[in-house]
């Protein structure tokens, strides 16, 4: 008869959880985005003042359901590859993948503009490079009407970077309002807008607020009130594309 975890394992888990919840965090201020080895496994944490960007490909469930695994993998890899190249070129540090979603952290001077420009450039490469290339080379994608599209969410604030898991199997996690809100914003599916930012990000934009050239058009629409994870927030949205 199935009785759940063994007594020995249950005791081990009780002790591990007690150690975590009853110990103080060993927190240090971060001036760079940490690697896993930079954070202590036992209650170590790095506090970052950062801009968080989440880029999420839309309808990966439909992609996996309606196409072969090899076709779906090619589409997803094309999206992630292109997105990551833009993030790195704009100075972002990639710290996690979740299926079809990638998270990046921007710190230092100019981080707000760098993240916003990154999002607008991701919109360009997805719509003008990834989608056409996918449709030209994978006929079933176009014939079945699947459209490669995405959304990017951006928020800023302080977060704790910690290591989650156990020795030998662990990774970094960012805990705080900013990464959570950015992730929620990237879930929005509302054509033709592909980028959503919070008011704190918009208010700190300098170079990425207006388009380049003589016309200098505002690239963001808003402010709008929107429910984000149960909280009413002020956000701005954009459908602009910027060529890298």
Do residues 160 and 176 lie in contact, with contact meaning Cβ atoms separated by under 8 Å? yes
Residue-level pLDDT at 166 = 78
Rounded to whole angstroms, the Cα distance separating 6 from 240 reads: 55
Residue-level pLDDT at 43 = 86
Residue-level pLDDT at 227 = 94
Residue-level pLDDT at 5 = 66
Residue-level pLDDT at 104 = 97
Rounded to whole angstroms, the Cα distance separating 114 from 116 reads: 6
Q: Which domains, ranges and CATH numbers included, belong to the chain? A: 27-238 (3.30.70.1230)
Is residue 213 classed exposed, middle or buried when 0-12, 13-18 and 19+ CB atoms within 10 A define those classes?
exposed
Helices 111-125 and 69-89: crossing angle, nearest 10°?
Answer: 150
Question: Would you call 46 helix, strand, or coil by DSSP?
Answer: strand
Q: What is the pLDDT along the chain (244 residues), one digit of tens a residue?
A: 456 667 688 888 889 899 888 989 899 999 999 998 899 888 899 999 999 999 999 999 999 999 999 999 999 999 999 999 999 999 999 988 888 899 999 999 999 999 999 999 999 999 999 999 999 999 999 999 999 999 999 999 999 999 887 777 788 899 999 999 999 999 999 999 999 999 999 999 999 999 988 788 999 999 999 999 899 999 999 999 999 8
């Amino acid at each position: 008869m199935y009785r759940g975890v063994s007594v020995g394992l249950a005791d081990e888990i009780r002790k591990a959880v007690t150690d975590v919840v009853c110990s103080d965090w060993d927190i240090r201020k971060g001036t760079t985005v940490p690697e896993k080895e930079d954070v202590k496994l036992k209650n170590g944490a790095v506090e970052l003042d950062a801009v968080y960007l989440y880029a999420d490909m839309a309808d990966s469930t439909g992609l996996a359901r309606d196409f072969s695994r090899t076709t779906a993998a090619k589409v997803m890899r094309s999206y992630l590859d292109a997105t990551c190249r833009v993030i790195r070129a704009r100075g972002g540090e990639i710290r996690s993948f979740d299926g079809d979603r990638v998270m990046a952290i921007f710190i230092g001077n100019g981080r707000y503009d760098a993240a916003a420009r990154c999002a607008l450039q991701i919109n360009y490469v997805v719509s003008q490079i990834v989608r056409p290339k996918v449709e030209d080379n994978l006929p079933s994608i176009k014939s079945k009407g699947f459209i490669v599209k995405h959304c990017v969410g951006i928020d800023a604030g302080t977060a704790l970077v910690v290591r989650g898991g156990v020795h030998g199997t662990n990774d970094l996690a960012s805990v705080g309002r900013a990464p959570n809100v950015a992730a929620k914003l990237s879930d929005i599916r509302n054509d033709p807008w592909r980028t959503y930012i919070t008011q704190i990000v918009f208010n700190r934009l300098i170079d990425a607020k207006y388009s380049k050239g003589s016309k200098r058009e505002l690239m963001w629409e808003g402010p709008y009130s929107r429910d984000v994870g149960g909280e009413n927030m002020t956000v701005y949205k954009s459908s602009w594309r910027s060529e890298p």
